[in-house]
Amino acid sequence: MLSLDHILKSGRIRLLGLLLLLWSSTGLAQQVEVHVNGDYPRLKENAEAFIGEVEGRSASNLRRYASTAVSQAGKGLRALGYYSPTIDWEVEDGDSEETARLILDITPGDPVRVKSRTVEIRGAAATDSHFTDNLPDHPAEGDILNHGDYTSLRNVLQTRARRRGYFDGRLVTRTLKVDPEALEAHITLVFESGDRYRLGAVTFEEGHWFESRLLHEFVTFEPGIPYHADEVAKLNSDLLGSGYFSGVDIDAGPSNAENGVIPVQVGLTRRDPRSISTGLGFSTDVGPRFRGTWREHWINQMGHKRGAETELSGPRQNLSTWYELPLDPPMTDLIRFTAGYQREDIENVESDLLTFGQQWQHQLDNEWLQVLSLRWEGERFNIGDDEKGTSTLLLPGIGYSKLHADSPLDPSRGYRLQFNVTGSHRAALSSVDILHINAVAKGLFTLAGKHRFLSRVQIGGVGTNRFEDVPPSLRFFAGGDQSVRGYGYQTLSPENDNGVAVGGRYTVVGSAEYQYQFAEKWRAALFVDHGNAINDLFDPLATGAGAGIRWISPLGPLRLDIAKGLNPEFGGEWRVHFSMGPEL
């Protein structure tokens, strides 16, 4: 063990070394200055980048270095098409306070322009529109020659060849001819693609434990299709996303090809069977809350799963369990059996809800997710001691949803559409006839990288012959973090004679929000919300408006809003709202 005296002494040594380093560095500064006559900021930046840092040199040393600096600056200008610059230099001697400086004075001259551009694709890729279309526009005829653009064009051809399976492809001609005196450049690229390789059969290495049938249902391509790197990447992503594996290793390299067909070999590492996670959260709707999740990621070789979740907060406590069977394809299709218990005590509405159900989830060819469900609900409720009851409902339902976003946690554009219909009938194990409809649409787009516009619309309705027998879980309430801000959670609702919110037959809620990104992870927001839960579609709606701030955390945006409810007759006031999660 190191003694305290040794630690202190070594600390002093390190501190002394740091002070000496700082003292010695005070005299170091970039000693080459580049001046470009005219408005050419990119030329100046490129010349400086080619020269690099020059420090700690004497005036005589700088004079010897001048020819090198001129040569490097010239290379920086040629990279951007200026082949005939005039570069003068002088050295200013330093003194006790300033170091010597080498000053380059550059007159760029006239640039070289692209006189001709020829890009020719030969072989099988010549008829592949995905290969030949949308090649980079630059360098184009008439452009000032930019060597970076030329290199980028070459790289695009080679990258596309690898992605689309033209592994024998090569640039048989790649010439850039520059005539500095005529100020002309001629570009010729001829790419010989050869034949396109194909993907072969997928085989899984031994030791994965699961049924082969299940694993092959993750394969979305048929043997013999033309190679595309995205097909291999999707297989890798789907296997990892299944939750069954901690590692996926796919070998689909052209070195294993036979007669142009690449066999796909997959090695899998099974993950631990169980996991437990817990978390603490907070929102102004329900206050502090605790969430716990237990999952069994695989139960048998058929890939069945099960789990349990609980969420505990002041106004709401629930416990739910589920059992899941994968279907074909297992990435999107499944059957889930569920059971749960929930207790709520929110704004004079008490409810105890017991549910059992089954869901069949299937993704349609148009990417809409379809969910067919059948659930039984038993609910005991008490609304302000004025309405007490017990309901028993058998609720078949159907739902459709679609999410399109360019990022799962913090998208810059996208939309979410969701539509659900459930119902019950007294002739089918139910205490009341109900038709329940709810639709939600959200949209997001971004302008110029910093200006974000969000919108949200919710419309819902309950059709029934006895509304007083409809349990609170199927009535509509509005207000709160995710509804109309500036009003308490679920306080917007028709009231009974004693002023207790009892829930409405309909809900209409809309929201518009503007966000401005003022720092890398921070945005400011302005918003207006408008809506209510009502019994008549012509009943008045409530409005809330305010401002907020967003922090883009690794788990998604955290939102802090200050809102003013503009309708005091509905309980509107200044309120603080805090919530988190994706905006779509």
| pLDDT tens readout for residues 95-110 | 767 889 999 999 999 9
Flag whether pLDDT at 210 surpasses 70. yes
- φ and ψ of 90, to 5 deg: -150, 155
Q: Which residue has the higher pLDDT, 8 or 379?
A: 379
- Predicted confidence band of residue 384 (pLDDT cuts 50, 70, 90): confident
Flag whether pLDDT at 419 surpasses 70. yes
Q: What is the structure's pLDDT at 13?
A: 42
Flag whether pLDDT at 272 surpasses 60. yes
Which own/partner contact pairs does 359-366 have at CB distance under 8 Å and 24+ positions apart? 359/335, 360/334, 360/335, 361/332, 361/333, 361/334, 361/335, 361/336, 362/327, 362/332, 362/333, 363/329, 363/332, 363/333
Query: What is the rounded CA–CA span in Å between residue 470 and residue 464?
Result: 8
Query: What is the rounded CA–CA span in Å between residue 348 and residue 502?
Result: 9
CB 457 within 8 A of CB 465: no
Cα dihedral: 540, 546, 549, 552 (round 10): 20
- Predicted confidence band of residue 10 (pLDDT cuts 50, 70, 90): very low
- Predicted confidence band of residue 401 (pLDDT cuts 50, 70, 90): very high
Mutual orientation of helices 147-163 and 229-241 as an angle, nearest 10°? Answer: 70
**How much is the pTM?**
0.82
For 364-450, strand residue ranges (E) read: 369-383, 387-405, 414-424, 434-447
Flag whether pLDDT at 4 surpasses 70. no
CB 410 within 8 A of CB 580: no
Candidates 488, 482, 450; CA nearest to 581 is 482
Flag whether pLDDT at 7 surpasses 70. no
| pLDDT tens readout for residues 109-145 | 999 999 999 999 999 999 999 999 999 999 999 999 9
Flag whether pLDDT at 320 surpasses 70. yes
Query: What is the rounded CA–CA span in Å between residue 171 and residue 42?
Result: 30
- Predicted confidence band of residue 497 (pLDDT cuts 50, 70, 90): confident
- The mean pLDDT value for 393-397 works out to 98
Quote the mean pLDDT of the chain: 92
Query: What is the rounded CA–CA span in Å between residue 510 and residue 280?
Result: 30
407: Cα separation from own chain's centroid: 2
Flag whether pLDDT at 260 surpasses 60. yes
Flag whether pLDDT at 385 surpasses 90. no
Candidates 450, 453, 428; CA nearest to 584 is 453
Query: What is the rounded CA–CA span in Å between residue 420 and residue 458?
Result: 12
| pLDDT tens readout for residues 465-496 | 999 999 999 999 999 999 999 999 999 999 98
A 10 A CB-CB count for 367 gives 10
- Predicted confidence band of residue 582 (pLDDT cuts 50, 70, 90): confident
6: Cα separation from own chain's centroid: 51
Flag whether pLDDT at 33 surpasses 70. yes
- The mean pLDDT value for 77-93 works out to 96
Two tokens, residue 348: 């004079």
Identify residue 133 by its one-letter amino acid code: D
Query: What is the rounded CA–CA span in Å between residue 422 and residue 420?
Result: 7
Q: What is the structure's pLDDT at 18?
A: 40
Which own/partner contact pairs does 176-184 have at CB distance under 8 Å and 24+ positions apart? 176/147, 176/150, 178/83, 178/112, 178/145, 179/112, 180/83, 180/84, 180/112, 183/83, 183/110, 183/111, 183/112, 183/113, 184/112, 184/113, 184/115
- The 8-class DSSP code of residue 165 comes to T
| pLDDT tens readout for residues 566-581 | 999 999 999 999 998 8
Q: What is the structure's pLDDT at 348?
A: 85
Q: What is the structure's pLDDT at 29?
A: 66
CB 546 within 8 A of CB 558: no
Q: What is the structure's pLDDT at 536?
A: 94
A 10 A CB-CB count for 226 gives 15
Flag whether pLDDT at 3 surpasses 50. no
Residue 13's alpha-carbon distances to 8, 21, 398, in angstroms, are 9, 12, 73
- The mean pLDDT value for 50-69 works out to 93
Q: Please state, for a pLDDT cut of 90, what percent of the chain lies above it.
A: 86
Task: Lay out the sheet containing 170-179: strands in order across.
Answer: 113-122, 184-192, 170-179
- Predicted confidence band of residue 56 (pLDDT cuts 50, 70, 90): confident
| pLDDT tens readout for residues 423-443 | 999 999 999 999 999 999 999
Candidates 470, 393, 394, 459; CA nearest to 420 is 459
